[in-house]
Amino acid sequence: MAKDDFVRIVYPKTVDGRKKRTSISVDPDLYHVFTLIRGSVPAARAQLRTWAIDVEVQRTEELARIGASRLVGRRVMAEIRTLVERGLKVTHPHEPKEALSRPVKQVSRRDGSQ
């Protein structure tokens, strides 16, 4: 895969007392859905960065085999699943809010029946 297939989230990591920069990679489609949930790109990136730092701290011997990107991806999927279970209402992003509250008009036919 090419490098540009994934969205990179850079975060600091301490190794042997020295600060290093490392990153996680997120699928672009998953990232797009997550930004819609969070409301903005900066909010989504900040949350992913926070989760990446938490994952690095909480990793144990058992979780060491699983990459940080995959562990953060699990948290993203859990948040998406929670949102869907609560009842996600999907609308077109450019549809005006007034159109959502109006009832749908029934089409009247020429013969007068509906």
114 inside domain: no
Cβ-contact 44, 33 below 8 angstroms: no
Q: Is residue 113 part of a domain?
A: no
In-domain check, residue 89: yes
Q: Domain for residue 22, yes or no?
A: yes
Counted domains in the chain? 1
Whether residue 42 is contained in a domain is answered as yes
Determine, yes or no, domain membership for 49.
Answer: yes
Residue 54 lies in a domain: yes
- Residues spanned by the domain of 53: 3-101
Does residue 71 belong to any structural domain of this protein? yes
Considering the entire predicted model, what is its pTM? 0.69
Q: pLDDT tens, 29-46?
A: 999 999 999 989 999 999
| Alpha-carbon separation of residue 57 from 3, 32, 93 (angstroms) | 26, 26, 37
Task: Give the chain's mean pLDDT.
Answer: 82
